[in-house]
Structure 1
């Protein structure tokens, strides 16, 4: 939809299970009107007109997301450790000699916190940056956890850095702690709290009163 006067293109699907007419917008921006068997197809244009503003907002939001996704990021912020890394893609040339990372297969200048020669395609640079974030988290988070462990006299067995979708961390009965690499994207005070939270689970695996008294 480009103007408020022009309705979007849409398809109509008759559903025997549907109890009311509804409009669906897919992630690709396709508009579909789902109507029950008893619904008159002559009423579809009126339904579209009635929800025209909602459709405009939904389609505009999808277009904006598409534009944002198509533009490669120019930097990575790691608030937890107060780092900002600049990203330069293959069209750019490094201003000086930098170190080559054998694992990421991109040129990483750790001194100036910059990436060079990153491939511009999302399906290529995203895995590289994810792999690098995993490495950076593996370098930083275990040291941070060990320091807090010593300060609070809460020893743990071992720590593993993972990419977890639903948890920031976990602790097993053996004192093994898993930490989410995305902790580097959080505020340092929040990360400290989450690390202490898992260390306290080395004493009490639940959230009982004794746990909160630690």
Structure 2
């Protein structure tokens, strides 16, 4: 793959091995801590910290070129991503960042997490390896979410003067969260793949339903008072939600499973 800047200087052109060209919008951001590649129905974008050398941006796109092609194909064709395959390295979103997923032999099944990599260790022979890998990923993603949830509950429940009776985390087909009649909050496991700010919005949304069980203006005013950035995160989920749920499915669901 080769990379060239186009005349507008706001895009990078990624030439694929099949002869196609992918335009990637590039944007520096003063609060960015690392390079980040996102794909939406509007196209691909790479965001990076101010002062990042162009060669670093080029190398980052080369590294994730195959993932980028696959994501764009999924959006264009409406297809589901291929299921997880034990032993095959891949990339996945985690907390809104691109994370590499790799494999190695180990004495017992476990996951190791470094800054931008997940490594799944499985013992040989790999009997029931796909099931073990999916279970490890599901547990890991839920643990990631629960750490954030615990911190935010400690902040928001005193402000509300109310608290849920429990928090459940599981895959949801269409919703991002819900509150039942017993005041139990359920959150979609796919939010582990989203930026933490999106998870925070959904949690605040459901916590506000403890006080107001509808979507009246009064409800949204309460959400606004607790989390002023809620609108940006709701828009993000509307734009990326379908792809995010599909990603979760390929990571934790058996092929052909629901």
Larger of the two Rg values belongs to structure:
1
